[in-house]
Structures are given as C-alpha cells and as structure tokens.
C-alpha cells in the first residue's frame, strides 16, 4: 500500500527528530516539536514546550555521551486529516561497544498534528522495552533491530 503525502510528511518528521538526537543537536531534535509539544524520555521525564525541550536536550548533550538510535519504523498512519501517529522501535550501541545493548531498547511513539501546511510533533514518547521475565521477547526485539542494521 502506498503512503499518502501526509504519511510521508509524518515519516520525515520522525526521521528529523531522530537525526537531531543522533547528531547530538538540541536544535535539530527540538525544532520539529509544536510550541507546546511534549517529550517523555526513556527515564520517564516529561518536558512540555519546544523551548523547554531544547533546554533539556542541550543539558543532556552537553554532559553525556549519548549513543545514536538504531531504529525501525513499524507503522505510520493517519488518525484524521490533521493527526498522525508513528510507531517505531529503537535501540542503542553504547560508546566503545559494537553491539546493541538490549537494556536500551525502546518503543517510540510520535503523535503529529498538522498546523496549516506544516506537520509538528505534539508528543514523542520513549517507553523502555524490557519485557520483564520474558527474555525471548528481548532477543526478538533486539534481533529485529539488528537485522535493520545489515
């Protein structure tokens, strides 16, 4: 099934946000957010507003050696003509390592809203994918990401 122009725009919006993280750019990652957009981090922190998101990310990138995301978009769909959602999975290869660290696996959800002719992120959430007590699911998740790297 072919993606619509809006689905492509939302897909691109997600990739812009991830590129901002991978480039360790607070500007690059915060720019796609709506003025009152929300970021829910891997640690559960909730940051509201593009300016606050920028400040939060700038602090992280200034003081931590953040690994880039390895990701796979599982779905992009429109909920209406002006609202869309991206579901993705992601992981990270820590600095100095050569393999994905399963403890850093995450489900990512992005909700985008169309403002005029422009799509903006209204919510981006990272949910740890730990699958407590189910190591086979952790392995499957990590393998799915690894296959995408090949």
Q: Which two tokens stand for residue 62?
A: 């200034």
The structural domain count of the chain equals 1
Q: Which two tokens stand for residue 71?
A: 């990701």
Tens-place pLDDT, residues 77-130: 999 999 999 999 999 999 999 999 999 999 999 999 999 999 999 999 999 999
Residue 131 phi, psi dihedral angles, 5° rounding: 50, 50
- CATH code assigned at 10: 3.10.450.50
Range of the domain at 90: 5-149
Secondary structure (3-state) at 62:
helix
This prediction's pTM: 0.92
Alpha-carbon gap, residue 78 to 134, rounded angstroms: 32
DSSP state of 75: E
């Amino acid at each position: 099934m072919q993606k619509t122009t809006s689905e492509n725009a939302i897909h691109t919006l997600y990739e812009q946000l991830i590129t901002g993280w991978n480039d360790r750019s607070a500007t690059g990652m915060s720019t796609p957010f709506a003025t009152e957009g929300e970021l829910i981090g891997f640690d559960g922190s909730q940051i509201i507003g593009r300016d606050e998101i920028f400040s939060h990310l700038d602090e992280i990138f200034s003081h931590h050696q953040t690994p880039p995301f390895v990701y796979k978009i599982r779905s992009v769909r429109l909920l209406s003509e002006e609202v869309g959602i991206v579901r993705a999975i992601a992981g990270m290869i820590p600095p100095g390592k050569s393999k994905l660290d399963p403890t850093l696996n995450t489900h990512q959800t992005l909700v985008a809203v169309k403002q005029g002719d422009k799509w903006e992120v209204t919510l981006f959430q990272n949910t740890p994918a730990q699958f407590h007590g189910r190591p086979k699911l952790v392995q499957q998740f990590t393998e799915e990401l690894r296959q995408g790297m090949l």
